[in-house]
């Protein structure tokens, strides 16, 4: 069945505590999606945000972001009071997340909730059910507190190298803090499972995102350094990035440690399988970020300040895909096949059978035929007007060359009467792609002020956009539903 959905991260939802959460607004958005005939809600990673407030630079690939825990639910559960929340100014603007304020207040409130929590048997059961990752994560976070936030590779030697005696001592010494961080995850997953179940009841699938790399300062590096390209002192020997292109003379230096794919292959990529199996419980469909990295990856010598001195190294290719399909045959996946694509990458995507991504915002920058033009792609694809890393469609019209804009208008038969952005949405909806996903910013006809992320930059604009209260109006819902019905993307015609 042809389907469509909306891209909007939880943090972008309106609400009273400075950031979108898994509370009332999230459930109301599911209602909005269902009423608009949408069957998919695409979000960004749910893991804790890291460097630059990015959900793609998380200290854990398994844990949930405690900023997303709904505080009103904790009040209703008797773990917080309205007085606990009084006096906190959550943001200077209702349209922006202030991560500094979240950092300064959220954990203190959750510690207050922890002090009132009495259902220890339920927490014990949660810890047992998540025993494959939670003990290491909770210890990692407790040690982060002990060492004032220093990265694990700057901890004392016994802990850095995970010597058994040092780890045992730390677990004993920090057992209360470990219990607290386990409690935080108990709250997160309790609220997420309730929201996810509600989405399923309303025939809305959650499309989640799994980043390709993990940061150096992460639980994964600390607990399994043998799987990464590190030396005997646990320093990276090479790091990730991408080569120079039309947008960057020096390339992009991401800095993430690289995988030892040969070591990972010895147990049929068990680390990746566990990671994707966990993501498969969180989400209904997984977008595999940086899919081209499975074919080959850009390796930059550690210590280089720019990425241009790197080189392409062969990745695990189809061997990984076959192992993935054998061990997780029911997993639904989307290949994020953007960026510099060689024929080998395209062949890997096609052999995998995973749908790729077609971005209309990339289709009209020149008169040269583009693979993103609708007549160029088939049904096994996801058509987007744009993603979280792109300009909003309105911003594109405001900044693109006159030639590109005229080309887009001619190709898509755009008119001012319909609205240029709505004409692009119509083109995406009417395409042959099995799935069409439109960012909420485009449905709201917002400009550059609503862009979610500008890759390669560190600004307070990245990851901070929030929608106005009342953004999900009945009029908008009806307009989306009519277009969805018109192009055969829903059975919900009532």
Asked if residues 248 and 457 have their Cβ atoms less than 8 Å apart, the reply is: no
Q: Is there a catalytic annotation at residue 289?
A: yes
Catalytic residue (one of 31, 250, 304, 389): 389
User: What DSSP string describes 148-170?
Assistant: TT--GGGS-HHHHTT-HHHHHHH
Beta bridge partners of 311: 299
Token look-up 């993603």 returns: 387
Sheet holding 296-301, edge to edge: 252-257, 238-242, 296-301, 311-314
Q: How far apart are CA 350 and CA 359, in angstroms?
A: 18
Q: How far apart are CA 60 and CA 156, in angstroms?
A: 21
Alpha-carbon Rg for the chain, nearest whole angstrom, is: 23
User: What DSSP string describes 48-88?
Assistant: PP-GGG-TTS-S-SS---GGGS-HHHHHHTTSS-HHHHTT-
Catalytic residue (one of 53, 98, 295, 336): 336
Beta bridge partners of 41: 6, 206
Residue length, the chain?
494
Query: For residue 482, which phi and psi values (nearest 5 degrees)?
Result: -60, -45
Neighbours of 47 (CB within 10 A): 24
Q: How far apart are CA 353 and CA 333, in angstroms?
A: 9
Q: Which two tokens stand for residue 149?
A: 């936030």
Asked if residues 345 and 337 have their Cβ atoms less than 8 Å apart, the reply is: yes
Of 492, 470, 471, 473, the closest CA to residue 481 belongs to 492
- Kindly list the distances between the CA atom of residue 88 and the CA atoms of 68, 188, 459, 464, 466, in Å, as whole numbers in the listed order: 17, 22, 24, 19, 19
Asked if residues 404 and 363 have their Cβ atoms less than 8 Å apart, the reply is: no
Catalytic residue (one of 70, 98, 220, 289): 289
Asked if residues 110 and 154 have their Cβ atoms less than 8 Å apart, the reply is: no
Which residues are designated catalytic?
Answer: 289, 336, 389
């Amino acid at each position: 069945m042809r389907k469509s959905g909306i891209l909007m991260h939880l943090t972008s939802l309106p609400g009273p505590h400075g950031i979108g959460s898994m509370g009332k607004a999230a459930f109301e958005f599911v209602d909005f999606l269902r009423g608009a005939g949408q069957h998919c809600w695409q979000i960004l990673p749910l893991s804790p945000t890291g460097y630059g407030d990015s959900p793609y630079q998380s200290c854990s690939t398994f844990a949930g972001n405690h900023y997303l825990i709904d505080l009103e639910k904790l009040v209703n559960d008797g773990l917080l009071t309205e007085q606990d929340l009084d006096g906190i100014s959550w943001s200077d603007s209702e349209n922006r997340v202030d991560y500094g304020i979240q950092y300064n207040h959220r954990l203190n409130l959750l510690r207050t909730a922890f002090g009132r929590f009495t259902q220890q048997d339920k927490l014990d059961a949660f810890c047992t059910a998540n025993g494959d990752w939670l003990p290491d994560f909770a210890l990692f976070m407790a040690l982060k507190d002990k060492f004032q936030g220093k990265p694990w590779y700057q901890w004392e030697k016994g802990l850095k190298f995970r010597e058994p005696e040092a780890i045992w001592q730390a677990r004993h010494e920090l057992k209360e803090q470990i219990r607290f961080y386990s409690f935080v995850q108990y709250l997160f997953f309790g609220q997420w499972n309730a929201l996810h179940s509600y989405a399923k009841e309303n025939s809305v699938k959650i499309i989640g995102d799994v980043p390709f790399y993990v940061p150096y300062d992460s639980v994964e590096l600390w607990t399994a350094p043998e799987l990464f390209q590190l030396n005997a002192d646990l320093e990276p020997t090479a790091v990730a990035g991408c080569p120079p292109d039309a947008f960057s003379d020096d390339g992009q230096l991401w800095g993430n440690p690289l995988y030892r794919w040969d070591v990972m292959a010895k147990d049929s990529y068990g680390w990746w399988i566990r990671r994707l199996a966990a993501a498969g419980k969180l989400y209904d469909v997984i977008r595999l970020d940086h899919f081209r990295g499975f074919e080959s990856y850009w390796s930059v010598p550690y210590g280089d300040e720019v990425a241009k001195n790197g080189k392409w190294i062969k990745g695990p290719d189809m061997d990984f895909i076959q192992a993935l399909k054998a061990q997780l045959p029911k997993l639904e996946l989307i290949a994020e096949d953007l960026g510099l694509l060689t024929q080998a990458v395209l062949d890997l995507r096609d052999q995998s059978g995973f749908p790729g991504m077609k971005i209309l915002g990339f289709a009209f920058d020149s008169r040269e035929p583009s693979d993103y033009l609708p007549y160029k792609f088939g049904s096994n694809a996801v058509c987007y007007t744009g993603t979280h890393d792109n300009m909003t469609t309105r911003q594109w019209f405001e900044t693109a060359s006159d030639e590109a804009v005229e080309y887009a208008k001619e190709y898509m038969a755009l008119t001012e009467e319909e609205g240029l952005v709505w004409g692009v949405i119509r083109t995406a909806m009417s395409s042959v792609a099995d799935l069409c996903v439109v960012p909420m910013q485009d449905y709201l006809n917002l400009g550059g002020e609503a862009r979610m992320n500008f890759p390669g930059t560190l600004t307070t604009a990245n990851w901070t956009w929030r929608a106005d209260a009342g953004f999900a109006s009945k009029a908008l819902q009806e307009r989306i539903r009519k277009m969805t019905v018109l192009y055969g993307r829903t059975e919900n015609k009532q």
